[in-house]
């Protein structure tokens, strides 16, 4: 990869459909047959927790190859405080350019901008193999639990990175996924039908 062959900028109104299509292509059949993240993005842009200043697209040779976005959420601390944090995603890179280093560049750029805006920590569900290279660790190491997950369940999918060192030092508690991420299956299906047809496949390695 040539380090100068891409640009990262904020998403514009006119990018929206192309970004949703990019998300659809990138997530399709990866975690389950089909997927829903393109609809999640469609819905979340109108959510009060959505952060326009952290809604990025990546371009190469004049076309969209990646996107990433953030939402505000909270940790409900065990001592009763509400700790403001970020969650992130969908993040994606177009399928034909996966594993060329673009995802890490986009992620690191986004995190740097989030830190510049003064946010203290980012938590979400993800693969430590990718996010660990950008400084994420298991959220359990920070004393943060995932909502509705039994205490003895595997929480290795739940990751955290402090943007302000020590931000979570005196915090233990439960992270809450913003409600906007919970979309209705029928609405996903209806939205998906507005895109060109794609075949849903049950593939090895899918999570759901």
Interaction site with ligand COA (CB under 6 A): 26-27, 30, 89, 91-93, 98-104, 126-127, 129-130, 133
The nearest distance, CB 61 to ligand COA, in angstroms, is: 16
The nearest distance, CB 81 to ligand COA, in angstroms, is: 28
Give the residue with the Cβ less far from ligand COA, 41 or 83. 41
The nearest distance, CB 21 to ligand COA, in angstroms, is: 14
The nearest distance, CB 24 to ligand COA, in angstroms, is: 11
Give the residue with the Cβ less far from ligand COA, 110 or 171. 110
Q: Locate 54 and state its tokens.
A: 């952290």
Give the residue with the Cβ less far from ligand COA, 40 or 171. 40
Chain position whose Cβ is nearest to ligand COA: 103
Answer whether 58's CB lies under 8 Å from 7's CB. Answer: yes
Give the residue with the Cβ less far from ligand COA, 133 or 200. 133
The C-alpha angle 53, 61, 9, rounded to 5 degrees, equals 5
């Amino acid at each position: 990869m040539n380090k100068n062959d891409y640009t990262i900028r904020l998403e514009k109104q006119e990018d929206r459909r192309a970004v949703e299509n990019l998300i659809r292509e990138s997530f399709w059949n990866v975690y389950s047959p089909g997927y829903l993240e393109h609809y999640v993005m469609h819905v979340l842009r109108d959510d009060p927790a959505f952060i326009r200043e952290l809604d990025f697209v990546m371009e190469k040779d004049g076309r969209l190859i990646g996107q990433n976005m953030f939402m505000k959420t909270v940790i409900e601390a065990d001592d009763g405080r509400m700790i403001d944090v970020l969650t992130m995603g969908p993040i994606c890179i177009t399928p034909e350019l996966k594993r060329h280093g673009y995802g890490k560049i986009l992620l690191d750029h986004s995190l740097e901008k989030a830190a510049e805006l003064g946010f203290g920590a980012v938590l979400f569900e993800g693969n430590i193999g990718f996010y660990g290279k950008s400084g994420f660790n298991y959220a359990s190491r920070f004393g943060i639990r995932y909502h509705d997950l039994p205490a003895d369940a595997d929480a290795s999918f739940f990751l955290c990175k402090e943007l302000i060192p020590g931000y979570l030092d005196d915090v233990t508690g439960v992270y809450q996924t913003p409600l906007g991420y919970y979309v209705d299956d029928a609405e996903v299906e209806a939205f998906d039908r507005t895109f060109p047809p794609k075949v849903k496949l049950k593939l090895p390695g899918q999570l759901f």
